[in-house]
Amino acid sequence: MKRWHIVLFLAPAVLIYSVFSALPLLDTLRLGFYATNDAGASHFSGLSNYLTILTDPAWSSAFWNAMCNNFKFFLIHLLIQNPIGLILATFLSLKGLKFARQYRTFIFLPTLLSVVIIGFIWQLILSPLWGVSESMMNFVGLGAYFQPWLGEEGSALITLALISVWQFVGIPMMLIYAALLAVPEDIVEAAYVEGASSWRIFWEIKLPLILPTLGLVTILTYVGNFNAFDLIYSVKGAIAGPNYSTDILGTLFYRTFFGYQSQIGSPTMGAAVATLMFLVILCGVGAYFYFVQRKLTRYEL
Amino acid sequence: MRTLSTRHLVLATLLAAGTAQAGTVNIESWRVDDKALWEEVLIPAFQKKNPGIQVKFTPTAPTEYDSSLTARLTGGTAGDLITCRPFDKSLDLFKKGQLEKLDGKAGMENFPASAKVAWQSDDGKATYCMPMASVIHGYFYNKKIFKDLNLPVPKTQAEFFAAMEKIKAAGKTPIALGTADQWESNQTVLTNVGANSWKGEEGRKALIAGKAKFTDPQFVAAWEQLSKMGPLMGKGASAQTYADSQNLFAMGKAGVYPAGSWDIAYFNKEGLDFGAFPPPVAKAGDQCYISDHTDIGMGVNPKAKNKADAYKFLAWLGSQEFADLYTNKVTGFFSLSNHLISVQDPVAKQMLDWRKSCKSTIRLNAQIMNRGTPAMENELWNVSSQVLNGKMAPKEAAAQIQTGFAKWYAPQQK
């Protein structure tokens, strides 16, 4: 065999990926088909876990509530985080912008912090007792509009999503920024010479060229949001109050798998929830590749 | 059969390894706050009597304790001694063979039957954790505010709400309480102030026997008290955490604080002048009930590497010396043993003295009721928080809990 080096070079990645990622995933899929009795012994039970989650009202209402919240969480990211990331990246890539590097660093900085710290800081900022937000709003005459946003059913999820947007906006910004830098100078210059405005150059030259990156950012956001858990857990705990209004699939999974307070954890039921999460992500990614990615035109530059 | 024999083989090897190198006794616990106390007071006291035995206290944060302990027990890496939650959490471990049976072990003879109930099989035939301590619930009040406004310590609910209105009128927060963390709404509020309405054990046992429902007036009355307390919680209470409430009360900005006795140590440290009163009764002269909850026990891991020493430590936990150290050094946890202990802290003593005039009960849903799906404890956190926030009517709260309970509990389905 002449191409033995391919096998050699692939081996470490394939080994590590299979042992720590693919096998556990397959085992989770398997575990979802089992159930445990009082003594902790597990036995094969077919689709019963899935039937419980999807048809038993006590489970299905929690599941659909989490799913619905998860979609809201994702939509807020999609509609706010990514456009802001695009705008920031466009400004940063403008020629002659002073302190561009400093801005870039500052905007990217929160991404490096632990989610637990972010959650804690924002909880303090928004606290109705000690937070600075109410006095800052008073300062500009908006004090009357202050609400305990993290404690209200209507606003808690949106607030958490916005905190997450604030933290992670640096990532789409950097990816799009890199794509914008890769747009060849001569095309842009040629357009200038032809008399195109910056606005038109952006819409008709730069945007089509970075569309594959925008697609990538969307799908990364989707996968990230449907796996999200840490921010909600650190701010609202695993029962994701008030009245489960911030419950997403990640917290539902945690409660089911590990248990929370009096709820005794069930690894098999948890595996079923994890499998459903996996399927949701798989369908989303699959649909994206089938309907969007295939049709994207990549320009040879 | 094969798995069984492998398990025995592993166990035997572990035991052999244990005796060969008399290792350290590791204690699993969720009491992160008490780490210094264990290391500086309790363990040295034990070692004085038992030289040569190494003991290590390795706590995990309370919210993560149960899940990480389960993982370690399953993986075979858990410590020798396991701090036990009361009732179903520990019963679940026992059923899975992850806790030793302790009947007849040294030290167990020092505990009354009532203290052991929290760690016994349903038929009462097997006990698997040694009772360590209980916590008592009630209200703390800020002595200065009560004196300044000339308020008497309330005995009835009418007096209580009248006092709260006066504190509110004086521009202070009447009740230091928030619902962001949700658990307080049940553990220090509903099962604390509600015990008087459902007559403590009488109401709790009636629910278990299927003779009463949550929708009965005596339980709805408890949520009605919560709905009255809601507007007295102060601004933005829906986003106020447990730590926020503690701070608010410690800074002297609130009149009362629905408390668990474990908070005594914290407020002592903050230097606050406070007293305690039991939850007010409906009308003067009524029998009073307090939530006197068996909270902490200690069990032995069947796969312990150092079982002989673990039992020596357990025997010491049953001694007068430990009872005295634990009650007086870990202020707010009360030993469950039969030994006579003199309590030194004034507020702790006050709370313990309520046992003489009021009848004790454990937290309403602690036994049996937490077993099914939906998990009642979590549901109670949720609905009680909503009642406090004014988002749910007391009757709706009762109906939701009753529906969830009747769904899986046979005696409630009649």
Of the listed ranges A132-146, A162-176, B167-181, B199-213, the one predicted with least confidence: A132-146
Question: Are A241 and B376 a contacting pair at CB < 8 A?
Answer: no
Please give the mean pLDDT across all residues of chain B.
Answer: 89
Out of B244, B374, B382, whose CB is closest to A241? B382
Whether the Cβ atoms of residue A179 and residue A298 lie closer than 8 Å to each other: no
> Does the CB of B182 have a partner CB in chain A at under 8 Å?
yes
Give the model's pLDDT for residue B52: 87
Percent of chain A past pLDDT 90, that is, above it, reads 60
Subunit contact A237:B88, Cβ cutoff 8 A: no
For residue B63, list chain A residues with Cβ-Cβ distance below 8 A: 237-238
Residue of A nearest to B91 (CA): A38
Omega of the bond leading into B374 within 30 degrees of 0 (cis): yes
On chain B, the residues whose CB falls within 8 A of the CB of A263 are: 373, 375, 377-378
Q: What DSSP string runs through B155-181?
A: -BHHHHHHHHHHHHHTTSEEE----SS
- Residue B212 confidence class, pLDDT cut points 50, 70, 90: very high
- B391 to chain A: which residues are within 8 Å by CB? 153, 242-243
Q: Among B28-37, B62-71, B381-390, name the most confident range.
A: B381-390
Average pLDDT estimate for B91-104: 91
In tens, the pLDDT along A258-295 reads 888 777 788 899 999 999 999 999 999 999 988 888 87
ipTM: 0.85
Mark yes or no for CB contact B237/A261 under 8 Å: no
**A128·B381 Cβ contact <8 A:** no
Structure tokens belonging to residue A39: 């003594």
Angle of CA points A25, A160, A170, to nearest 5°: 75
> Are B237 and A237 a contacting pair at CB < 8 A?
no
Q: Which of A124, A127, A129, A252 to mutate to test the interface with B (most CBs of B within 10 A)?
A: A129
Cβ contacts below 8 Å, chain A against chain B, sum to 116
> Is B3 a residue whose pLDDT tops 60?
no
What does the mean pLDDT of chain A come to?
Answer: 90
Three-class SS of residue B58?
strand
DSSP assignment of A269-289: HHHHHHHHHHHHHHHHHHHHH
Report the distance separating Cα B295 and Cα B297, nearest Å.
7
Contact B212, B218 (CB under 8 A): yes
User: Which two tokens mark B120?
Assistant: 């016994």
At B36-49, the pLDDT tens digits run: 889 999 999 999 98
What's the CA gap between B167 and B170, in Å, rounded? 5
Please name the residue ranges forming H helices in B276-334: 307-317, 320-329
* CA–CA dist B241, A236 (Å, integer): 10
pLDDT, tens digit (0-9, with 9 covering 90-100), for B226-235: 999 999 998 8
Q: Does residue B404 register a pLDDT over 50?
A: yes
- Which tens digits make up the pLDDT trace of A94-120? 878 888 889 999 999 999 999 999 999
Return the pLDDT at B25.
Answer: 92
Q: Judge: B66–A259 Cβ closer than 8 Å, yes or no.
A: yes
Q: Which residue of B has its CA nearest to A243?
A: B382
**Band of residue B16 on the pLDDT scale cut at 50, 70, 90:** very low
The verdict on a CB contact (< 8 Å) between B63 and A237 is yes
Residue B19 has pLDDT above 70, yes or no: no
Residue A128 and residue B240: Cβ atoms within 8 Å? yes
Q: Which residues of B touch A148 (CB under 8 A)?
A: 235-240
Instruction: Check pLDDT > 70 for residue A231.
Output: yes
**Contact call for B381 and A261, based on CB within 8 A:** yes
B365 interfaces chain A, CB cutoff of 8 Å: yes
Beta bridge partners of B281: B156
A243, A262, A264 member nearest B376 (Cβ) = A262
Nearest to B130 by CA among B75, B83, B69, B180: B83
Q: What residues of chain A lie within 8 A of the CB of B365, using their CB? A: 262
pLDDT tens column, A51-75: 999 998 889 999 999 999 999 999 9
- Chain A neighbours among B 226-255 (CB < 8 Å)? 234-241, 244, 247-248
**B181 at the A interface (CB within 8 A)?**
yes
Q: What is the pLDDT of residue A4?
A: 87
Tell me whether the omega of the peptide bond preceding residue B62 falls within 30 degrees of 0, making it cis. no
